[in-house]
Amino acid sequence: MYPPNLHTKIGKSLYRTYLSGELLEVREEYNYRWFHYGGDKVQAVIDTANPENILLPVPQSMLIFLLWQKPPFHVLNLGMGAGTIENALSKLLCVEVTSVEAELAIIKIAKRYFLSSKNSNVIHHKAEEFLQVTAPHYDIILCDIFFQQQSPKCLYRSTYYQNLKKKLRRSGTVFINLFPENEENLLHIMSVSRPYFKHAALIEFDDYQNIVLILSQVSLPTKEQLTSWDNLPGKLTNISFKEHINNLHYVPVKANSR
C-alpha cells in the first residue's frame, strides 16, 4: 500500500539544511517520515512502525530480483538515499549490501532518521568514481542517482555501463532508476548501455515519469515465471510485484554485446 500524498507543506520538520544551495529537509506526519531535496518531490519515505516495508513503487520494483536471485548474494546500491533498500534487505540472511552515497549530509540524515540497521556498510563516494576503484564483483547492482530531480550526466556515457559490466558477475543484473525528460533522452541511454548488455527490459509506472532500466548478460525471467514466483508463499519478500510485472517491457535481444 502506497502512502498518502506527502509533500513539503504537511507534517512537521525534523531537520533542515541547505546542500549545494538547495533545501534538504526531513519531515514527519503520523507514522510516515520522508525527505525532499532540491524540489518538492519526496525522495524517500518510511513507515516508522515498519521501516522494512518499501512504500514507493519505484524502489519496490527494483527489488523484483528477489523473485529469482537466491541467497547468498552481494548487492551494490549506488545512491543510497534514505536507505529504504537497506532496510528491506536487512532481515534477509546471507545478503550483503554495500551502499554508496555521494552526499555526506544525506548519509547523516539516513543514519539518524531512516536506517533501521546501525551496521549498514555505507561508503561516501560518487557512484561513477566508486565503480572505477571498487575491487569486489556484485550479483545485483542498483543505481538510483539523481541531481536536482534529473538523471546525472554519467548515465548518458558509455563508460559508465562499461564499468557496471566489469563489476557485475556474469549472471548478475543491473537496475537503474531513470528520469528521462523525453523519448530522445531514453533512446540515448539505451544506445550507450546496450553494447555492454545483451538483455534489457523497462519497467514503467502509472503515476510516475520514472522508468527502471534492467540490464543483464543472461536471459531475464519471463513474465510467466515472475508471476508464478510472485505467488509462492515462501518468497523472500512480502512485496506484491504484480503491478510491476504487468508494466514490464522486454527490449529485443542485442545480438553482439561487448
**Which residue is listed with cell 534514505?**
82
Instruction: Please tell me the predicted confidence (pLDDT) of residue 207.
Output: 87
Instruction: Please tell me the predicted confidence (pLDDT) of residue 151.
Output: 80
pTM, rounded to two decimals: 0.95
Cα gap 185→114, rounded to integer Å: 32
Instruction: Please tell me the predicted confidence (pLDDT) of residue 7.
Output: 77
Supply the DSSP symbol for 94: T
Q: Which domains does the chain have, with CATH numbers?
A: 51-251 (3.40.50.150)
Say whether pLDDT at 257 is over 60. no
Question: 167, 131 in Cβ contact below 8 A?
Answer: yes
pLDDT per residue over 148-204, tens digit each?
567 889 999 999 999 999 999 999 999 999 998 889 999 999 999 999 999 999 999
pLDDT per residue over 218-236, tens digit each?
999 999 999 999 999 889 9
Residue 257: burial class (beta carbons within 10 Å; 0-12, 13-18, 19+): middle
HSE value, Cβ hemisphere, 13 Å, CA-based, for 233: 0
The more confident residue out of 42 and 69 is: 69
